[in-house]
Amino acid sequence: MTKNDFLRFQGTPGYIASGPLVDGVNCSIALERPLLLKGEPGTGKTVLARHVAEGLGMPLLTWHIKSTSKAMDGLYVYDTVQRLNDSRFGSGHVADIRSYIKPGPLGRAFAADERVVLLIDEIDKADLEFPNDLLRELDEMRFTIVETNEEIVAKHRPVVMVTSNNEKELPDAFLRRCIFHYIEFPDVELMRKIIHVHHPNLDAKVLDQVLIKFYWLREQSDLRKKPSTSELIDWISALLRAGVSYDQLEAHIPFVGTLLKKEQDVDALNRYDSKDGRYPKRWEDLGPRYNQ
């Protein structure tokens, strides 16, 4: 029999996750390994962690990585400047070094009284060696505060989720310890469900037009940056607020600025427009991939 005594994530009403993604999340929870998420920008890598936390009823701790982030910052920061300052003016508990040690997101996740979801967001932004510096901490879930010689051991192993935008290759040693999931771009069916979550009252005919235009845009090979799911949702919001009629939507792509973010792409589309380029109106106008 399978062991079912671990937590299971089933998706939440606000986040439509594909079956394999749910399995990936559960696999990482069951094996207590970090889940490494990659995928096109805007496919919901970061949002997933929030919904996993919500679905499992755990608090979420987020560690946003910047190019200057160091592995140490995630564990704790020793605020020497504050301590020096306090010693100068005789305020604070200068004698107690512990009041100047501020735990970072990882440190707080370890010290928490309940199991938490820890999101390490955009790990590829940091230095190449950054993931390697975290190996021991993530493996053994413990670290030592050098200043006090105090060892922090995780009371509960946090559910660790790591996102990467592929700006850098991650070290092999780090990859070996992760469960990897690549979030594919949603197909039309999944996209309908996703849109339904955000715009439940959208007319079915309008939705079809929106999707036809959107997937057609994505098929254009000379596009520098393809529009993503989050941009599609913004676009629909813009269409609804402006009250664009069905006919307008059928013939054109209004508010293209919400979908295309590169000047060249917008120019290319405008040129297409001025040359009386035709936009697809039916699914049959798109390639065979959409007409199975």
Q: Which residues bind other proteins (CB under 8 A)?
A: 1-3, 6, 19-20, 23-24, 26-28, 30-31, 33, 36, 38, 80-81, 84-85, 88, 127-128, 167-170, 172, 175-182, 184
The secondary structure of residue 258, as a DSSP letter, is G
- How many helices and strands in the chain, by DSSP H and E? 13, 9
How many Cα atoms are found within 13 Å in the side-chain-facing hemisphere of 287? 7
d(CA 34, CA 27): 10
- Least Å from the CB of residue 221 to other proteins: 11
- Tell me how long the chain is: 292
Q: Which of 262, 266, 269 is nearest to 225 (CA)?
A: 262
- Least Å from the CB of residue 20 to other proteins: 4
CB 165 within 8 A of CB 124: yes
Nearer of residues 168 and 218 to other proteins, judged by Cβ: 168
Q: Which of 253, 206, 258 is nearest to 229 (CA)?
A: 258
d(CA 21, CA 163): 14
Nearer of residues 56 and 269 to other proteins, judged by Cβ: 56
- Least Å from the CB of residue 22 to other proteins: 10
Nearer of residues 106 and 178 to other proteins, judged by Cβ: 178
Nearer of residues 126 and 260 to other proteins, judged by Cβ: 126
Nearer of residues 79 and 250 to other proteins, judged by Cβ: 79
**How crowded is residue 33: how many other Cβ atoms within 10 Å of its Cβ?**
19
- Least Å from the CB of residue 191 to other proteins: 16
List CB contacts of 154: < 8 A, sequence separation 6 or more: 109, 110, 141, 142
d(CA 249, CA 1): 54
H-type helices in 90-228, by residue range? Answer: 105-111, 130-133, 135-140, 172-176, 188-198, 204-219
Q: Which of 73, 158, 146, 160 is nearest to 111 (CA)?
A: 158
- Least Å from the CB of residue 80 to other proteins: 6
Nearer of residues 26 and 229 to other proteins, judged by Cβ: 26
- Least Å from the CB of residue 179 to other proteins: 5
Q: Which residue type does 66 have?
A: K
- Least Å from the CB of residue 169 to other proteins: 6
d(CA 164, CA 122): 5
Nearer of residues 25 and 239 to other proteins, judged by Cβ: 25
- Least Å from the CB of residue 82 to other proteins: 11
Nearer of residues 140 and 267 to other proteins, judged by Cβ: 140
